[in-house]
Amino acid sequence: MAEHIIHEYDKQAFNCPRCGAFANQEWYLANAIDKFKAEYHGSTVGKGSIDEFAFSKCIHCHQVSVWDKKKKTMIFPKNNNRTFDLTEIPKDLAEDYTEACLVIGDSPKASAALSRRCLQAVLREQGFSDKSLYKEIQLAIDSGKLPSHISESLDAIRNIGNFAAHPLKDTNSGEVVPVEPGEAEWNLETLEFLFDFFYVQPARTRKRKEALNEKLKNAGKPEMK
Ligand SMILES: [Zn+2]
């Protein structure tokens, strides 16, 4: 998994709090906008200054994050310390994951409901489809296609989540039901393993292959299939 650089005030590049990609950030302050606006209206004095804020714009997704200049802390989006690069992840999955990250501090229950639903969607997309999440996890484990650390993480989801006592978690994965301590975090970490295995690594291999074929082609040699 690529290293994730936590966002920091005035830093040139980090994993974007909006899209997750590692990208350069353009920093700017509000007073510049304010001055421009004031001049446009024929005044030399800015009104309604929002001097206390700074803004970082991601050059990858062009979305802006808002910072408290004095405290040097991020105000928007709500602090999300998980910064998995979601560039290669299908949009609907990335959305559920991001939302599960954002709400975990306020509502682990809501977060776990989202991450279970996302987990189920990933498994189903990979062909592990059954009547319940419990059985889908079993199918994935039994397939022998997953590395052992992922199988173990998946298996633990059922145990930590105490699926036996909360059948709704199993049969209706998006349901908001009580969570056990550590469950919401565990689900997110497992999702990151799955994302990495099913989407990030294959994309990386594809790119390496393309680069290699380019070299082979330039050297007049047959390309690798
Ligand atoms: Zn971004």
Taking only the tens place, the pLDDT of each residue in 186-218 is 999 999 999 999 999 999 999 999 999 999 999
**Residue 134 maps to a domain:** yes
171 and 96 in one domain? yes
CA of 209 relative to ligand 1 center, distance in Å: 26
**Residue 185 maps to a domain:** yes
Overall average pLDDT of the 75-93 stretch: 84
CA of 81 relative to ligand 1 center, distance in Å: 15
Domain boundary among 76, 99, 127: 76
200 and 119 in one domain? yes
C-alpha distances out from residue 174 to 55, 106, 107, 114, Å: 35, 17, 14, 6
108 and 70 in one domain? no
97 and 185 in one domain? yes
The phi-psi region of residue 127 (left if phi > 0; otherwise alpha if psi is between -120 and 50; otherwise beta) is left
**Residue 221 maps to a domain:** no
176 and 135 in one domain? yes
Q: At what angle do helices 91-103 and 183-195 cross, to 10 degrees?
A: 150
CA of 17 relative to ligand 1 center, distance in Å: 7
Number of structural domains (the chain) is 2
What is the predicted pLDDT for the residue at 45?
59
CA of 95 relative to ligand 1 center, distance in Å: 14
119 and 25 in one domain? no
Q: What does the alpha-carbon distance between residue 40 and residue 79 come to, in Å, rounded to a whole number?
A: 35
Q: Is pLDDT of 149 > 70?
A: yes
CA of 21 relative to ligand 1 center, distance in Å: 6
Q: Give pTM, 2 decimals.
A: 0.67
Using pLDDT thresholds of 50, 70 and 90, give the confidence band for residue 33.
low
64 and 101 in one domain? no
**Residue 45 maps to a domain:** yes
CA of 212 relative to ligand 1 center, distance in Å: 29
CA of 23 relative to ligand 1 center, distance in Å: 7
CA of 197 relative to ligand 1 center, distance in Å: 22
Q: Is 114 helix (H, G, I), strand (E, B) or coil?
A: helix
72 and 95 in one domain? no
What is the predicted pLDDT for the residue at 1?
46
Cβ-based neighbour number of residue 181 at 10 Å: 9
Q: What does the alpha-carbon distance between residue 161 and residue 65 come to, in Å, rounded to a whole number?
A: 34
What is the predicted pLDDT for the residue at 4?
67
**Average pLDDT of the chain?**
87
* Contact criterion met (CB below 8 Å) for 50 and 32: no
55 and 99 in one domain? no
Q: Is 15 helix (H, G, I), strand (E, B) or coil?
A: strand
C-alpha distances out from residue 192 to 25, 71, 159, 174, Å: 24, 31, 19, 18
Q: Is pLDDT of 115 > 90?
A: yes
Q: Which residue has the higher pLDDT, 69 or 20?
A: 69
**Residue 7 maps to a domain:** no
- HEC assignment per residue over 153-214: HHHHHHHHCCCCCCHHHHHCCCCCCCCCCCHHHHHHHHHHHHHHHHHHHHHHHHHHHHHHHH
Range of weakest confidence among 39-43, 105-109, 124-128, 158-162: 39-43
**Residue 22 maps to a domain:** yes
145 and 35 in one domain? no
**Residue 98 maps to a domain:** yes
**Residue 220 maps to a domain:** no
CA of 57 relative to ligand 1 center, distance in Å: 8
The residue range of the domain holding 120 is 91-210
Domain boundary among 47, 76, 105: 76
172 and 137 in one domain? yes
CA of 5 relative to ligand 1 center, distance in Å: 13
Range of weakest confidence among 27-36, 48-57, 103-112, 164-173: 27-36
